Structures are given as structure tokens and as C-alpha cells.
Amino acid sequence: MRATFTSALPALLAPLLLAACSVGAREARAPRRASADSARLAPGDTVALVRQAIMEADREFARATAERGVEGWLAYFETNGSQVNGGGTVTTGLPAIRALMAPTLGDPALRLRWAPTDAVVGPSARLGSTVGRWELIRRDSSGTERVASRGSYLTVWRRQADGRWKIVADVGSPD
């Protein structure tokens, strides 16, 4: 029997929750700075605008990956970001994520595509997440494409000092 995203979610989210707790603990200990790189909502920002920004970051992540393969994929991860696969294996750091994803994203017969369906913003507007659906498309020798696999994903984002959003953790689970 195959596990669904919903049934696998608790096991997949455990590493993310631990990471989020450690981020929150570091933020609680860190002195608050009132500067241009503050993660608080800027005047005029609304939760809706921040949600839109995270959704757009996810869409840009998909475009960059489609255009540049593994380099586009890695460009959106924090240096110490993590990726969790459907089996619950956690891969952390850009070199390890590159090794994990290069075979799939470098294969001309495969194409990974996804789109976010929703976003959530944390109270500080520094952390947020997107959820959505993904598909892995395989092209055979005749040029015919078919969906080889599909599923759901959850991506946790952190706003950087320059305002860009980078991935803290990405979890994908096949249907």
C-alpha cells in the first residue's frame, strides 16, 4: 500500500518543525534591530502582499529550475537548506542537494514541474511556506511525454536581508 502525502506528512514534517523551532529560538535570543533588513512587515506590507511574494518566489524557483536545471534549483536554497524526500530522508547543504538532484534535473528525458496552490506567512513575516502539486514528466525515445510520478510538496521559505526568499526546507511526497 502506498503512503499518501497526508499520511506521510507527520514523519516528513518532523525535521522541518525542529528546524523552525531552532530558528525561533535563535530569533528569540537575537537582539531586535530596527534596520532596512528587518524581517518585520514594512509599512504598507500586508500579509496578502507577503503571501503573494512567497508564491511568486516559488513560481520563479520553478522557472529557474526549468531553464537552468540543478543550478536553478540550488539558486533558491539557503546554503544550509534541507530537502526531504518522500521516504523521509533529509539531505542538507548545497553540495549534498546537488548530488541528490543532478541525476533527475540533468536528464534530458525528465522534466520536473510544479506550481504552488497556497502560502502561509509566519507572524514575523520572516518565515513562510508554500504548498502545491508537482509532476515528473518522462519523454520516451519516440518523443512521447507521460507523467511518470506526481505528488504534493511543502516548501519552507525565509526572507533574506536583501528581501529575497530562500528555501530553508523542501519536502516532496509522491501520491
Q: What is the pLDDT of residues 119-136, one digit of tens each?
A: 999 888 899 999 999 999
Is the pTM of the predicted complex or chain greater than 0.85?
no
For the ranges 34-48, 51-65, 116-130, 151-165, the lowest mean pLDDT is seen at: 34-48
**Three-state DSSP class for 90?**
strand
The DSSP result for 146-169, as a single string, is EEEEEEEEEEEEEE-TTS-EEEEE
- Give the span between the Cα atoms of 62 and 73, in whole angstroms: 8
CB 47 within 8 A of CB 144: no
Top-tier CATH class for 5-20+44-167:
alpha beta
